[in-house]
Amino acid sequence: MSNFLPAGGDGWVKSGEMEVYDRNNLFDYMDGGAELYLAYDFQKLVVQRYSSGSTDASKGNSITVEIYQMNSSPDAYGLFSFDQEGEMVELGQKGVYGYGLLKFWKDRYLVRILGSQPDLRETILRLGGDVDEKIRGEGALPELLSKIPKDDLIPNSDHFFHKQILLNNLYFLSDKNILNLTDKTDCLLADFGFDGETLKLLLVEYPDLSQAKNAYQSFNNLYLKGEASETDKIVKIEQGKLVEADLKENYLLLVFEGTDRDIVLQLLDSVKNSLRQGGVSSQ
Amino acid sequence: MKKKEEKTLDTIITRRDFMRGTALGTLGLTLGLFDVESLAIPPPVAEKRGDSTEPVKSRTVLIRNQKVLGDGNVVDKKILADMLDKGMMGFAETKDAASAWKEFFHPSDVVGVKINLMVTPTHDELIELIVENLLGIGIKDENIFVWDRDQIGVGKKEMFSRPRRFGFDKDHLNKVVKKCTALINVPGMKSHWLSGVALSIKNWAGAVNNARVYHTEDCCSSLGELCTIPQIKAKNRLIIMDALRPLFHGGPSVDPKYLWNYNGLIIGKDHAAADTIALKVIQRQRSRYKREEWMISPPPLHVALADMRYKVGTSDLRLIDLVKLGWQKDALI
């Protein structure tokens, strides 16, 4: 991975030694942030700081390049998808830039390049381009992403993850793991827009049907207070909001934030059709 | 009432509880889900002082200055020094800064300044000013330890390089804590993806080598336990929270679009109170940024639980005597 690091150029030089972290010592780099990366099956991180006009990054402008290696490309995408806000840039397989931070994913890697000042945009993008060129391969997107309908999907609103701690951050449901999420579950959370109404879809793929059924029952009992039934899967909760919970084979489908029954049903039908067809065109 | 809330917390909290608002009682109040006026719970009972019938409130100072951050967000140390002086005087209710520091520390003390090094670190200028103030009241240079995790600097010369490693004891606590007679908690102010916020309570995670046991999937609800570690509980005398340029989303990995210049310090002694003030400011900044309600996620349950379960302060605004000094615009509280 050290081969992926840019040389610098245009007055920018490496500042200090390259740092390398693995699963055992990532906490030394980011303490409580490490769990985020570990939840995406993090393998290795290299960090190199750059400075202009001085070899000491603490003086003057500095740029930090971080390259995270995950175990799989879907997880690299998942880590990227954790926050996709920003200006889209054509780097890696998908990239965003904003306020001095460039982030893109490619193959099994997530690349973060952070400048000490927002006005370092050109240099940051140039360094990002260097890294992009050096990572030769490309990786597959999460399969789950191909299984949701693209019509009405709000661009860049999707988040791919596995575990409860990620769901808690993205859309808090409970302090307890009521969906029985583990590193073996694939989850996709995404927003869909319908006539000014934004619905949130949570699609969870369990290893088998029995685990999906258990999760459905757990959610119905603990979140919906047992109010969902075979005949009516939409439950009206607080603030007039509708929640729908359904199963399709080993997939659990949950829709939140609805206010119109027809629209909620429309989204659920659309997702089920998409699953039935084995997915639609990938992003 | 508190017992009932604790029982609820031991069972399950869901998004629906938050949508119901008042169902969470004091917990919901701490998390900023509704106003005091809408609460149908009894007024809080606080410790009383002497014959007074008024409950003793937890004094917490918020001081801000519009000009403390200059171009490139460089800290104006002179202005920051003035803020720290006035903040300390406001907190200790003294007429000069030295007297304020003497309220908490004695020249014979060995003081551990627990900073935060992680990603959004405590500003160097603040660290330096704290050390200078401790020296100013007669504490010996070799009796000042600036540290986080196991990176320790002795005295002013080492406060930034922090080259020493004292190691951790079998009880997981860094040995520096045991060498000290007094501690100052100097956290940054930031949101945190796993615990909602990382403020003064969570800063003690850097005092132990088993922090992972507190990073749990239930929103890190047990973080308040860190404040009950006897050596910490007995020795911590002051909290000075660096609220100059806080992080309001993400964290601890910084995305600069979620940083903003708040230009403040929060000074107190009560962990739950200081964190309650800070989390309310972060919450309001999030909603201001999105122009709609954008709740801290996950909800920072550990702040309310530090009060309700671990009894290390108050998270009830009605029991916090918030003293706001300096620049008031967009104070968000």
As a three-state string, the secondary structure of A183-222 is CCCEEEEEEEEECCEEEEEEEEECCCHHHHHHHHHHHHHH
Of B18, B251, B256, the CB nearest to A99: B256
pLDDT at B40 (0 to 100): 47
To which H or E segment does residue B275 belong?
A: helix B271-290
Query: Do B91 and B59 form a contact (C-beta atoms < 8 A)?
Result: yes
**Is the CB of B16 less than 8 angstroms away from the CB of A223?**
yes
ipTM tops 0.85: yes
pLDDT of residue B3: 40
Residues of A in contact with B72 (CB under 8 A): 117
Q: Is A177 on the interface with B (CB under 8 A)?
A: yes
- Pick the residue of A172, A242, A257 with the most B CBs within 10 A to test the interface with B by mutation: A172
Which residues 79-138 of chain A have a CB within 8 Å of chain B?
83, 85-86, 98-101, 112, 114, 117-118
A30 contacts B20? CB cut-off 8 A: no
CB atoms B15 and A173 under 8 Å: yes
Q: How far, in Å, CA of A232 to CA of A189, rounded?
A: 23
Q: What is the CA radius of gyration of chain B?
A: 19
Q: How far is A68 from chain B (nearest CA, A)?
A: 13
| Mutate which: B5, B6, B15, vs A, most A CBs within 10 A | B15
**pLDDT at residue A281, as a whole number:** 40
Compute the average pLDDT of residues A67-95: 95
Residue B145 token pair: 């330890």
Cα distance from B128 to chain A (closest Cα, Å)?
Answer: 16
Of the candidates B206, B221, B297, which has its C-beta nearest A31's C-beta? B206
Q: Provide residues of B within 8 Å CB-CB of chain A.
A: 12-16, 18-20, 72, 118-119, 149, 192-195, 198, 202, 205-206, 211-212, 215, 217-219, 221, 250-257, 295, 297-299, 301
CB proximity under 8 Å: A 50-89 to B: 83, 85-86
- Find which of A163-172, A220-229, B53-62, B75-84 is predicted with most confidence, using mean pLDDT: B75-84
The continuous run of DSSP H or E covering B322 comes out as strand B320-326
What residues pair up with B111 in beta bridges, in sequence order? B144, B182
pLDDT of residue B120: 82
Nearest chain B residue to A239, by CA: B19
- In B26-150, at which residue ranges do the beta strands (DSSP E only) sit? 58-64, 111-114, 144-148
Is A27 part of the contact surface with chain B (CB cutoff 8 Å)?
yes
Check CB contact under 8 Å for B297 and A169: yes
What local confidence, expressed as pLDDT, does residue A193 receive?
Answer: 94
Omega within 30 of 0 (cis) for the link into B163: no
Residue of chain A whose Cα is closest to the Cα of B218: A175
For residue range A91-100, what is the model confidence (pLDDT) as tens digits? 999 999 998 9
Stretch A7-34: mean pLDDT: 88
Tell me the whole-structure pTM to 2 decimals: 0.89
Least confident of A82-96, A123-137, B28-42: B28-42
What string of H, E and C letters represents the secondary structure of A75-118?
HHHHHHHCCCCCEEECCCCEEEEECCEEEEEECCEEEEEEECCH
**Residues of chain B positioned with their CB less than 8 A from the CB of A226:** none
Record: contact A176-B218, CB cut-off 8 A: yes
Beta strand A87-89 with A62-70 is: unpaired
How open is the CA angle B249-B251-B252, to the nearest 5 degrees?
A: 165
Domain boundaries, chain B: 50-326
Cβ of residue A10 closer than 8 Å to a chain B Cβ: no
Cβ(B21)–Cβ(B302) under 8 Å? no
Whole-number pLDDT of residue B56: 75
Which chain A residues touch B218 with a CB distance below 8 Å? Answer: 175-176
Closest Cβ opposite residue A31 in set B20, B211, B221: B211
The pLDDT, as a whole number, for residue A59 is 53
Q: Which chain A residues are within 8 Å of B195, Cβ to Cβ?
A: 32
Interface touch A171/B301, C-beta < 8 Å: no
How confident is residue A128, by pLDDT bands cut at 50, 70 and 90? Answer: very high
Q: What is the mean pLDDT of residues A137-158?
A: 94
Cβ pair A33:B252 closer than 8 A: yes
Name the percent of chain A lying above pLDDT 90: 77
Q: Do A223 and B198 touch (CB under 8 A)?
A: no
Q: Inter-chain contact B13–A174, Cβ cutoff 8 Å?
A: yes
A24 touches B at CB < 8 Å? no
Strands (DSSP E) contained in A206-273 are: 234-236, 242-248, 251-258
Write out pLDDT tens, residues A233-275.
899 998 899 999 999 999 999 999 999 999 999 999 999 999 8
Using alpha carbons, list the distances in angstroms from residue B2 to A275, B302, B317: 47, 15, 15
Contact B297 A31 (CB under 8 A): no
Between CA A132 and CA A74 the distance in angstroms is: 18
Neighboring chain B residues of A168 at a CB cutoff of 8 Å: 194, 217, 219, 297-298
pLDDT by residue, tens only, chain B of 333 residues: 344 443 335 668 888 888 876 556 666 666 655 444 444 445 555 555 565 556 678 999 999 999 999 988 999 999 999 999 999 999 999 999 999 999 999 999 999 999 998 778 899 999 999 999 999 999 999 999 999 999 999 999 999 999 999 999 999 999 999 999 999 999 999 999 889 999 999 999 999 999 888 888 888 889 999 999 999 999 999 999 999 999 999 866 788 899 999 999 999 999 999 999 999 999 999 999 999 888 899 999 999 889 988 999 998 888 999 999 999 999 999
Give B254 to chain A, closest Cα distance, Å: 9
Residue A47 has pLDDT above 50, yes or no: yes
B contacts of A163 (beta carbons < 8 Å): 217
Whether the pLDDT of residue A34 is over 90: the answer is no
B255 to chain A nearest CA, in Å? 7
Distance from CA of B101 to the nearest CA of A (A): 31
R_g of chain A computed on alpha carbons? 21
**CA closest to B259 among chain A residues:** A99
For position B126, what pLDDT does the model report?
Answer: 98
Nearest-Cα distance to chain B for A247, in Å, is: 21
**Is B72 within 8 Å of A168 when comparing Cβ atoms?**
no
At B134 the pLDDT is 98
B50-326 adopts what CATH topology?
A: Rossmann fold (3.40.50)
